[in-house]
Structure 1
């Protein structure tokens, strides 16, 4: 009887999660219908217009800003997170220093995004100004740097786990043939754990796509397509955060449509990462 009750409770919990997800999707889709019926799906996605006076809205500038900041953040993240993963998962595995580094990484992962935004605005931005650079014109770069710092803990923690899972027999075989630490890492650890490491970066990329407050504080919040890291811009999350409170009518519907697109993009990336991790675990 206890097993049946426990199984029933788990079933109810799973159903609640499904209902919540369905509710989110329904809310986004139902509130976005006005925008898609007015402009059309493809016109809305590929248009860069955002004119509240004339009720012309398009998501291209925000999609491009989201992709640019997230891709740059991932590029900045990879060398640092991979170094931490190799440090914890291979070179100093089981050492006390690994515990210290892991604790710091976990601490960074738990810091609220608004704190990162404040740090970027009041610490990183003045440093750029002191270098003689107009920080107002480097919104994409500033936002990408902060995003990179925010996703490093996620990527490094998952990558550490996959590197630690590499069988010792493979590494010992390489050492017996005279391989150095570097050769074992490049010819054994990284190739064997490559799928898992890739999945960890996909998840980190999905985390960067949906970040809101830190990006909003640094990117410059201009509704134009950023053509370089020296431009200002907006992301899908930041435009919603900035204008949702005052929006109504077609503008509100357009913001909900942007939220729906962001949901679909993030969900697709997470599904890809989960599928890759599932393949790795086999």
Structure 2
């Protein structure tokens, strides 16, 4: 006999999406939640935006387990998308906004219910006409989304972590709610980060690193999330100083730029930054030695394999 899944209780174990949302809702609604160089949103505003977006996704066919592709730059809208997908019980597939054919290919392969793009960045790219009804319609009216996330068990699919796709269509590693939670938790515990430690999100949110150790870690810690919308060392330095950011993860070229900026302009703007793990390419020993000298209060080290771990 076939039974209808009850979406008022998780199938098994903990409901990590519900826990994440509950943490957010318990914060001071007037406190700063997310910042960009030219924009800030409070906790209350982030909750309202996410519920509105969730209502739109539901109206456009997203159901529990639906694959939702998000191809955005580092902006507040990505955070809203992430939380809205969690509210709907969907499966996040985050891709670089410039991924082009990878977006359309994966939309077909994964039978994505919705593809969210930043229209002014992709322009009139005829490639995206192939998405048809899958393409998210941001101006469409819909009822507000649920107050709490659709219940999902910890062993259910939560995230498809895609490789870069430099040699073909990206490969996607499957993560359930438990493995997604654990990846972020391990980093937060290792660095002993708390709600008092603002997180600087420098890596592109289309990749695993920024999602796990930027967006999700800020939400896990209840700390301020600071997004670098387009990488420039000068912008990052200003944001670190303005919000007293403590932690960031970024690819090796970003570390090169950061060290060069500190060597040229001094460490004043970078003083609060204590941790800078670097991923995506080997970190030369000479660069580490330069970093130790230019950023004496900051720990720099390398790791790899985030998507597949």
Relative to the length of structure 2, the TM-score reads 0.21
Q: When you count strand as a share of all residues, which structure comes out higher?
A: 2
**Structure with more contact order per residue of length (Cα contacts < 8 Å, sep ≥ 6):** 1
Relative to the length of structure 1, the TM-score reads 0.23
Q: When you count helix as a share of all residues, which structure comes out higher?
A: 1
